[in-house]
Structure 1
Amino acid sequence: MILEVAILFVKNGEEKDFEIASQFISSIQGYLGHSLRKCIEQENKYILLVDWEKLEDHTIGFRQSEHYLEWKKLLHHYYDPFPVVEHFLTILENKNNTQYFI
């Protein structure tokens, strides 16, 4: 599984409209789910986390689809500056709060 991470800075005053528009994401092959999180300290800062089966599902499957063109039309005008998008592999995951001692 690949995690796409984008830190988004939304133009001041447009946060609520952005939040409504960002609910749109397509179910391209390989899409597993996503979450949008808002920064507590900075009103116009968000982090978008999208899980994909493999990198190409995002970089080719989504980015070259009609769904992406709609996503781009709905959301890209909110960003200032345009976000950097990076992809990550899970090395360690602790979902049950188990403590590890080293």
Structure 2
Amino acid sequence: MILEAAYLYVKPNLATQFESDFTKASQYISSIEGYLGHRLEKCLEIENKYLLLVDWNTLEDHTVGFRTSAAYLEWKKLLHHYYEPFPVVEHFETVFKNKKP
């Protein structure tokens, strides 16, 4: 499994509309082969800062499968105009994991 992570900085006074559009856009990302799940976290300390976390089966499921799809164009249309600056997207793989029993 690959974890995609991106800090999203939403332009001032647009957080409520962004959150609404993000909910709508979620149908597009979740329709992609290799998509496993995602969540959007809102920062408590910094206004208009969010953390997007997406689980993918493989890196290519995101970088090729999603980013070259018609679904990505809809995602982009709904969300990309909210960001300032545009987010840096990074990918991670687990090297250690522990959970409380």
User: TM-score when scaled to structure 2?
Assistant: 0.92
Q: Which has the larger radius of gyration?
A: 1
* CA drift at 1:95: 2.4
Counterpart CA distance in 2 for 1:95 and 1:10 is 32
Counterpart CA distance in 1 for 2:50 and 2:97 is 22
Q: Count residues in correspondence.
A: 97
Gaps of 5+ in 1: none
Name whichever structure is richer in helix by fraction.
2
The residue type equivalent to 2:99 in the other structure is: K
Over 4 Å off, 4+ runs: none
Counterpart CA distance in 2 for 1:94 and 1:16 is 35
The CA RMSD over aligned residues, in Å, is: 0.9
Equivalent position of 2:46 in the other structure: 42
Counterpart CA distance in 2 for 1:88 and 1:16 is 29
Gaps of 5+ in 2: none
Determine what percentage of the aligned residue pairs are the same residue: 64
Counterpart CA distance in 2 for 1:74 and 1:94 is 36
